[in-house]
Amino acid sequence: MGNPPKGMPLVADSFMSNPLVVIAPLDHPLTRSGQISLHKLLQESFIVREMGSGTRNAIERFLEQRGQAMTTTMEMSSNEAIKHAVMAGLGLGIVSLHTLEMEFKLERLAVLDVGGFPILRDWYVVHREGKRFSAAAQAFKEFVLKKGGDLIKLPQSAATGKRKRG
């Protein structure tokens, strides 16, 4: 889970970071820029997740803390839809870096080098407080907490922190 609910009797253990990055089609003018200021970025239009999604909430908190807002042209209910709309040139998007491996391999999207990005979130294993686990479920939870972050490799462009195409 990306955003465990507050005020409920739950245990939430983080097991991996979930960086949110700004994506653009390869031919977008900003892909040729060095580091892009947030002010310049926000002059663009965005395709965003639906209201209430964890990604949307994280983006809105990030912008609100900086006294900024973005112009949205569309709301989509999946990262795949956002990526396809961005590839079609309908706007920029902000998605989890974990969702971009195929697009990088196929050289279909670029991650923009924007000041303040990536927005860092976490992935959590969440369960009810006091939950009694079967042996298999307990072993699974321990495995995810110990090895989960090692199982998913971030796409290569994330390693340098620079804008890359593929």
**Whole-angstrom distance, CA of residue 26 vs CA of residue 165:** 7
CATH of the domain at 48: 3.40.190.290
**Whole-angstrom distance, CA of residue 135 vs CA of residue 148:** 18
Does 156 have pLDDT greater than 70? Answer: no
The stretch 92-100 carries a mean pLDDT of 93
Let me know if residue 166 belongs to a domain: no
Let me know if residue 2 belongs to a domain: no
pLDDT tens digits along 43-72:
999 999 999 888 999 999 999 999 999 988
Q: How confident is the model at residue 74 (pLDDT cuts 50, 70, 90)?
A: very high
Residue span of the structural domain in which 124 resides: 12-156
Q: What is the mean pLDDT of the chain?
A: 88
Let me know if residue 164 belongs to a domain: no
Let me know if residue 6 belongs to a domain: no
- State residue 19's pLDDT score: 93
Let me know if residue 165 belongs to a domain: no
Query: Who has greater pLDDT, 153 or 127?
Result: 127
Let me know if residue 87 belongs to a domain: yes
Let me know if residue 29 belongs to a domain: yes
Let me know if residue 81 belongs to a domain: yes
Report yes or no: 120 and 17 within 8 Å, Cβ to Cβ.
yes
Does 165 have pLDDT greater than 50? Answer: no
Domain count along the chain:
1
Report yes or no: 143 and 36 within 8 Å, Cβ to Cβ.
no
